[in-house]
Amino acid sequence: MKSLVQKDGVRLQSLISEMLTEIGEDPNREGLARTPKRVEQALRFFTEGYNLDPDEILNGALYSVPYSEMVIVKDIDFYSLCEHHLLPFFGKCHIAYIPKGKVVGLSKIARLVEVFSRRLQVQERLTTEIADTLNGKIKPMGVGVVVEAQHLCMIMRGVQKQNSVAVTSSLLGAFQDQKVRMEFLELIKK
């Protein structure tokens, strides 16, 4: 998939200018004169995940290591855009896996979150994409992913619930066992 934003961005800037006019603003007034360019650049950054390949990110960081205990990277900050309203949602992602002969560089786990969060998303798909990719790439005994996020589409509009947090999980392989699941959930609470 290609980025949602063209390289030169001229068409998107024109559409943003039209949108400003449609909501009753003057896109030529001082405070808005450069807004179409700024929004175009922001959208390019927010959707750069479409140009990132999870295979390329993980391939160079797989190592044969005789380790078979749980590996957890927790509190990975992320932000994304809700595909329904184009409003941000943001929070923390917690990822664990139990290696079976191969481990992955820890920073690559955080990069994997960026690949999928920097696309138009729903939290449920974000959670499963991360879990499925890690599971398919390193073929561990199991993978667990928990995502906690606040959605501006719930906070700023709609139900306007300021303190709501959505939590999703994807538990694969060994993480479907009750003991493993509980160990993971306990460790990410601390």
Q: Which amino acids are annotated catalytic? A: 82-85, 123, 151, 153
Q: Residue 41: which residues within 8 A CB-CB, separation 6 or more?
A: 9
At a CB cut-off of 8 Å and minimum separation 6, what does 103 contact?
A: 62, 63, 65, 67, 71, 138
Q: Which two tokens stand for residue 155?
A: 């906070």
Q: What stretch of H or E contains 75?
A: strand 71-82
Per this entry, what is the length of the chain?
190
Beta strand 142-151 with 71-82 is unpaired
55 Cβ partners below 8 Å, 6+ apart? Answer: 137
The answer to whether 116 and 122 are in contact (CB under 8 A) is: no
Tell me the one-letter amino acid at 157.
Answer: R
Tokens 């664990």, residue located = 96
What is the distance in angstroms between the CA of the first residue and the CA of the last residue of the chain? 38
